[in-house]
Amino acid sequence: PILGKSTPEGARDFLVPSRIYPGEFYALPQSPQIYKQLYMVAGFEKYFQIARCFRDEDLRADRQLEFTQVDIETSFLSEQDIQAMIERVLKYTFKKILDYTIDFPIPRLSYEKAMALYGSDKPDLRFELLLDTYTEAFMPFEIPFFSDKTIRGFILPNGASLTRKELDQFTLTVKKNHGEALAYLKYSNQELSGSILKFIADPNALAESLELKDQDLLFLVVAKDYMKASNAAGALRKEIGEYMKLASETDYKFAWIVDWPLFDENEDGSLTAAHHPFTAPKEQDKALLKTNPKACMAQAYDIVLNGYELGGGSVRIHESHIQQQMFEAIGLPSDVIEARFGFLVGALKYGTPPHGGLALGLDRLVMLMTGTKNIKDVIAFPKTQSARDLMMEAPSSVADTQLEELKISFKH
């Protein structure tokens, strides 16, 4: 169905007011998630759909308000079985369409390792530039904006030729991604130079301890904590890779990102589902849902390609009491759980088989296979960056009589 129920799946819903039931709303589907799980409850063990999805979120080069995904759900398969199935689909597709042979096995990186090495949960593996933590290395020096901060960064070989003007533009990238500052050090002809050199007592000793080679450029990203520093350094790594043309446009490097945390922690200490609230915790972590939910790991997995998330999936919760505990962990009161998800919690009581799946973003896949960097290039009548349809001039106002039928009025 296209007209469904508003449920929390990570983005804002597009709401459709009901004329017959004033004050009540349908929601356009962010994905067919709950419906395909209900198929599994009903005994349909294998499902796939070319699904149209809608998410009211800010647009960017690889995201539109409406998009198409290849949705797969199946019973009795492990996450490894599902991953193997997706690999077969991708292998066939890339060979048939592009005559490109994917390198197997596709590497698997834990979420923790991906953030540590690449500063991203969707790393571009076509080039190196591995991240490291430099907090301790700069503790002996009294650098004002380094105080009580986390320092992460990476070394760019042959980067010493970059000019101050070029380096300044990368500071904007760092600050847009929750970094506080960007510092750098160049090592050329056995001499150290850079934006923080005046704070370094013995430049040669520092260069040796950092194992800098001639013409190396060390980027240092300063942020409040490890995750903010990692995200900012990862965004910088991606931009440097594009600016220096470090990646081949005709190469495709896939990776599975696995071993995700089940929850993300908000600033106020509350929890939200890292993927969605139907993702199952790892078997050994089920007991932690009630005692220490922040420590729970998820049976979730993303397939990434060249710095983009190509698809995401998980093993789903198939036990009613675990689903109830999951909703409680993200702060939903019992009455809200019953009102919004009572049908699902109830359905899971009838001997639901273990099940899981994955959805591939079809538009994003076509974007990457055609070598463009903007998803609008592969979608007919796309929305602009400001979320407008220029051809149909939508969104637009409607007649007062239509609003009256829906019992809708606006406050000015």
Mean of the pLDDT values across residues 75-85? 96
Contact call for residues 282 and 299 (beta carbons, < 8 A) = yes
pTM, two decimals, is: 0.92
**CATH superfamily assigned to domain 15-106+310-406:** Bira Bifunctional Protein; Domain 2 (3.30.930.10)
Residue of 371, 360, 357, 346 lying closest to 252 (CA atoms): 371
Alpha-carbon distances, residue 60 vs 63, 97, 169, 237 (angstroms): 5, 27, 20, 19
Contact call for residues 282 and 297 (beta carbons, < 8 A) = yes
Mean of the pLDDT values across residues 57-70? 90
Strand pairing class (108-110; 254-261): parallel
Residue 133 has pLDDT above 90, yes or no: yes
Mean of the pLDDT values across residues 260-289? 94
Model confidence at 58, in pLDDT bands (50, 70, 90)?
Answer: confident
Mean of the pLDDT values across residues 83-98? 97
Distance in angstroms (rounded) separating the CA atoms of residues 386 and 18? 27
Distance in angstroms (rounded) separating the CA atoms of residues 83 and 94? 16
Longest distance between any two alpha carbons in the chain, whole Å:
77
Q: Evaluate the CA torsion angle 273, 311, 56, 238 in order and state its sign.
A: positive
Model confidence at 10, in pLDDT bands (50, 70, 90)?
Answer: low
Based on C-alpha coordinates, what's the Rg of the chain?
24
Domain limits, CATH 3.30.930.10, in the chain = 15-106+310-406
| pLDDT tens digits along 188-212 | 999 999 989 999 989 999 999 999 9
Residue 9 has pLDDT above 90, yes or no: no
Model confidence at 282, in pLDDT bands (50, 70, 90)?
Answer: very high
Domain limits, CATH 3.30.1360.30, in the chain = 127-244
Model confidence at 62, in pLDDT bands (50, 70, 90)?
Answer: confident
Question: What's residue 6's pLDDT?
Answer: 87
Contact call for residues 306 and 126 (beta carbons, < 8 A) = yes
Q: Which long-range contacts (CB under 8 A, 24 or more apart) does 330-339 make?
A: 330/263, 330/270, 330/271, 330/272, 330/273, 330/277, 331/270, 331/271
Residue 8 has pLDDT above 70, yes or no: no
What number of CA atoms fall less than 13 Å from residue 333's CA on the CB side? 3
What number of CA atoms fall less than 13 Å from residue 203's CA on the CB side? 15
What number of CA atoms fall less than 13 Å from residue 140's CA on the CB side? 8
**CATH superfamily assigned to domain 127-244:** GAD-like domain (3.30.1360.30)
